[in-house]
C-alpha cells in the first residue's frame, strides 16, 4: 500500500526515512487555520487533518500522513516568523522560559478512516542575550520553523533541556506514527 507524506518538511521526511518507511512526498495545498478556541492539541490535529485530507482526496488508494507543529508560549500559538526581526522577537520571548511544542498528526487510510493524535514536548530555553540570538540567527534558517527555531539546527545554542520526545520538537512524533502504521497493518518496507 502506498504511503504519502503530505508535507514538504525535510525534517519530517528525514524522520520517516530513519524508520525505514517507504513513502513519497506530496506537499499539501491546504491552508492552516488559526482558531485558538480549538486548544493546543485540537488546533494541531485539525491542521494535520486538513493537510492530509487535501492530499488524500487526490490519492484515495494511499495512506496519507499529515502533520502540523506549533510552539505554544503561555497557551498562545507561535507560528512561523514573518521576517528575521520577527524571529528575533520570538526567540527573545522564549528566552529563559519553558514552552510547549505540539505536533498533531492525521493518518488517513484508504477506506477513508482517520487516526488523529498529538504529542506535546516541553522545551526549556537558556537565557539568551541579544548576541546569542544574533549568532543563532546567523547560522540557521528560522523562517520556515514554528517559533523561529529548529532544535536540530544548533539547538544546543538556545535549548537548555526538553521533557518529552525530541523528534516531536523536530516536527513528527515518529514512535506514535509508527504505532498507527503498524496498527493498520503496515510494516517497515525497507531496512
97: CB partners within 8 A, 6+ apart: 73, 124, 125
Active-site residue flag, 68? yes
Q: Point out the catalytic residue in the list 22, 35, 57, 68.
A: 68
CA-based angle 161:143:97, to the nearest 5? 30
66: CB partners within 8 A, 6+ apart: 6, 7, 28, 30, 47, 48, 49, 50, 51, 52, 53, 55, 105, 106, 107, 108
Active-site residues, by number, are 68
Amino acid at each position: 500500500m502506498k504511503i504519502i507524506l503530505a508535507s514538504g518538511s525535510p525534517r519530517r521526511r528525514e524522520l520517516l526515512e530513519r524508520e525505514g518507511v517507504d513513502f513519497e512526498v506530496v506537499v499539501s495545498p491546504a491552508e492552516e487555520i488559526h482558531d485558538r478556541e480549538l486548544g493546543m492539541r485540537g488546533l494541531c490535529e485539525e491542521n494535520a487533518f486538513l493537510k492530509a485530507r487535501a492530499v488524500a482526496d487526490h490519492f484515495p488508494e494511499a495512506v496519507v500522513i499529515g502533520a502540523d507543529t506549533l510552539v505554544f508560549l503561555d497557551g498562545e500559538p507561535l507560528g512561523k516568523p514573518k521576517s528575521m526581526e520577527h524571529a528575533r522577537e520570538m526567540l527573545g520571548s522564549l528566552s529563559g522560559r519553558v514552552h510547549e511544542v505540539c505536533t498533531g498528526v492525521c493518518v488517513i487510510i484508504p477506506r477513508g478512516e482517520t487516526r488523529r493524535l498529538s504529542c506535546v514536548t516541553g522545551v526549556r530555553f537558556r537565557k539568551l542575550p541579544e548576541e546569542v540570538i544574533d549568532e543563532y540567527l546567523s547560522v540557521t534558517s528560522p523562517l520556515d520553523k514554528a517559533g523561529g527555531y529548529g532544535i536540530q539546527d544548533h539547538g544546543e545554542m538556545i535549548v537548555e533541556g526538553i521533557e518529552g520526545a525530541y523528534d516531536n520538537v523536530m516536527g513528527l512524533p515518529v514512535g506514535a506514527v509508527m504505532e498507527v502504521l503498524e496498527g493498520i497493518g503496515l510494516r517497515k518496507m525497507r531496512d
